[in-house]
Amino acid sequence: MLLSPNGASRSLAAVFTPIKSRGLVDEVCGRIEQAVETGLLTSGQRLPNETELAAALGVSAVTAREALSQLRASGIIRTARGRSGGSFIADNVLPSRERALAQLQDLSRLQIRDLALHYQAIAAACAGVAARRSDAADIATLRSFIPSANDDSASWRLALSEFLLEVAAIARSARLARELIRLQADLGTLTLLPCADAGYRGCTAVILEDVAAAIEAHDPGAAETGVKDLISATTDWLLTEQAKRY
Amino acid sequence: MSETTSTAGPSAGPSAGPSAAPAGPGSAERAAAELDATIAGIEHRLAAWAADAGAALAAMSGKVTGTAVDKLIRPVVEELLQLPGGYAAGAGFIANAGLLGPERSYIAWWQGPDLEHVDALANFSPNSISRYVKAEWFRIPVETGQAHVTGPYVDFLCTDEYVLTFTHPVFTRPDGPVAGIVGIDVTVQRLERGAMPALRRIGGRATLANADGRAAVSAAPDIDAGDLISPDEQCAHYPVGRAFTVWSNAAGL
């Protein structure tokens, strides 16, 4: 379909797109996966039954049941029958290198580049405003998220995403913060891969210090450049790694 | 972006916003008193709630359960969130470690007119207290035993909005450890609707600022919520609630 400048608005096309009903189930699964990743729910721990889960998350029992079965299928939870039965967080459920590699194989170079562009646009907007609005307490909090060189790859990954969320918090824009959270969810466990590389950790540690210094010095330009460099470092690493696998 | 605030500095001050000139002697004072009544009203309601909740928890004599906490807290939250013209976007109680279990917290917090249950998944975690101990709105009232206002800040845990969070410690014994906190979230958007008319009566650049000198609501079009600002040398200062001030004439930094 060709939409000329005089024809129908391109934004109208979205009106006729079918509405997917999977949304809520995926949302529940995402919450539980996130709770596991951040250590709130741990391996072997019993999950509430579907009625309790539904009540806690404000969804229907049907949605909760579907979410539990989706989590079971993806190996996040295991279910035991009988008196001491129920759903439990599976062992070895933390984001693994194998899962991240599988995700990397599934994505095209184009998808990775486009995601990075979007991520850079949002993160740079946050960094620019953060540089204008930061105070001393903000900078202390921001620096507390800079990981140390001997942290393991999983905590590096969490620290990097928390660092950028803190930049959004310093910018004090709810919309940009929400968009950043969505983008990080889209990136998924991919970012675990570079964090296992000491070279990448060393290079990003320098960038994080630079970003914090630029935000502290109220220098929006340098702050924007810094976060863009940070995201480029990640995507360049991923694209290099992916190319090796062809 | 920094230029937009600095060029419109103090010199552009009192003359900006001609339609917002004070309406007569004492008018600014009355408008400031109105703002103070609004914020202090929220703080008093919270203090009364903390006292009631503390007494009710004490009466449970050590057998505090999640269900009992929900039953105690939810009716108050419902009243706060559904109050016509009310300020609360979300409200609730968060248990300190020790009330229900050693590392365990418990969150009984709801938001929005439909009382959406917030962060309830955390209640299934054995180490849920780790989620709250670092947050200013939890840490400060627990450490100091005093009421506190956090923000404006982007609230990632509950509303995902730009909010102020008013929190108050809850005691089950007057000299005992803090059992938890009760709190009310007020969105900056809601506050803006309520505060703008009074700010405009105080002056075209009148601004409601927090203790850090950060704007929450300003009558000046070039000062946004979240901007760091300073008062003009000759401007009037009106205290609003425990932690806020209205500056009759503010400028961006």
Is B121 within 8 Å of A40 when comparing Cβ atoms? yes
| Alpha-carbon span B199 to B250, nearest angstrom | 12
Higher pLDDT, A182 or B246: B246
Does residue A167 belong to the interface with chain B, where contact is any CB pair within 8 Å? no
Is B156 within 8 Å of A133 when comparing Cβ atoms? no
What local confidence, expressed as pLDDT, does residue A187 receive?
86
Q: What mean pLDDT is reported for chain B?
A: 88
Q: What mean pLDDT is reported for chain A?
A: 87
The full DSSP string for A118-185 is HHHHHHHHHHHHHHHH--HHHHHHHHHTPPPTTS-HHHHHHHHHHHHHHHHHHHT-HHHHHHHHHHHH
Tokens of A56: 């806690």
CB B43 within 8 Å of CB B147: yes
Tokens of A123: 């993160």
Position B193 in a domain: no
- Phi and psi at B165, nearest 5°, equal -120, 120
Residue B13, pLDDT > 80, answer no
Position B72 in a domain: yes
Residue B146, pLDDT > 90, answer yes
Which pLDDT band, with edges at 50, 70 and 90, does B131 fall under? confident
CATH 1.10.287.950 fits A16-89, yes or no: no
Tokens of B5: 């605030």
* CATH 1.10.10.10, chain A: domain bounds: 16-89
Q: Which of these, B191, B183, B248, lies nearest to B220 by C-alpha position?
A: B248
What local confidence, expressed as pLDDT, does residue B8 receive?
37
Tokens of B165: 């969070």
Reported as a single tens digit per residue, the pLDDT across B49-98 is 999 999 999 999 778 999 899 999 999 999 999 999 999 999 999 999 98
Of B120, B154, B160, the CB nearest to A56: B120
Reported as a single tens digit per residue, the pLDDT across A209-234 is 999 999 999 999 999 999 999 999 99
Which pLDDT band, with edges at 50, 70 and 90, does B9 fall under? very low
Min Cα–Cα distance to chain B from A219, Å: 10
Q: Which residues contact B238 (CB under 8 A, 6 or more apart)?
A: B28, B29, B32, B33, B35, B36, B202, B245, B246, B248
| Alpha-carbon span B253 to B251, nearest angstrom | 6
Q: Among all chains, which residue has been given the structure tokens 């863009």?
A: A228
Is B152 within 8 Å of A220 when comparing Cβ atoms? no
| Alpha-carbon span A136 to B166, nearest angstrom | 22
Position B13 in a domain: no
Reported as a single tens digit per residue, the pLDDT across B179-196 is 999 999 999 999 999 999
CB A29 within 8 Å of CB A70: yes
Does residue B227 belong to the interface with chain A, where contact is any CB pair within 8 Å? yes
Q: Among all chains, which residue has been given the structure tokens 């590392």?
A: B103
| Alpha-carbon span B23 to B78, nearest angstrom | 39
Does residue B116 belong to the interface with chain A, where contact is any CB pair within 8 Å? yes
For residue B105, how many other CB atoms are within 10 A of its CB?
25
Position B106 in a domain: yes
Model-level ipTM above the cut of 0.95: no
Higher pLDDT, A103 or A129: A129
Q: In what order do the strands lie in the sheet with B116-117?
A: B116-117, B107-111, B90-95, B178-187, B162-171, B148-154
What local confidence, expressed as pLDDT, does residue A11 receive?
57
Min Cα–Cα distance to chain B from A81, Å: 20
∠ CA B103-B106-B107, nearest 5°, is: 140
Q: Which residues contact B75 (CB under 8 A, 6 or more apart)?
A: none
CB B122 within 8 Å of CB B133: no
List, in sequence order, the alpha helices (H) in chain B: 2-7, 27-59, 66-82, 136-144, 188-202
A–B CB contacts, 8 A cutoff, strictly below: 75
CATH number belonging to domain A97-244: 1.20.120.530
Helix (H, G, I), strand (E, B) or coil at B188: helix
Position B219 in a domain: no
Mutate to test the interface with A, among B116, B121, B140, B186 (most CBs of A within 10 A): B121
Query: What CATH number corresponds to the domain at position B126?
Result: 3.30.450.20
The full DSSP string for B194-231 is HHHHHHHHH-TB-EEE-TTSBEEEESSTT--TT-BEEE
Which pLDDT band, with edges at 50, 70 and 90, does B208 fall under? very high
| Alpha-carbon span B88 to B110, nearest angstrom | 10
Tell me the percentage of chain B whose pLDDT exceeds 70. Answer: 91
- Phi and psi at B139, nearest 5°, equal -60, -45
Q: Give the structural domain span for B42.
A: 36-188
The total of structural domains in chain B comes to 1
What's A78's DSSP letter? Answer: E
Higher pLDDT, B4 or B154: B154
Q: What average pLDDT does range A12-26 have in this prediction? A: 63
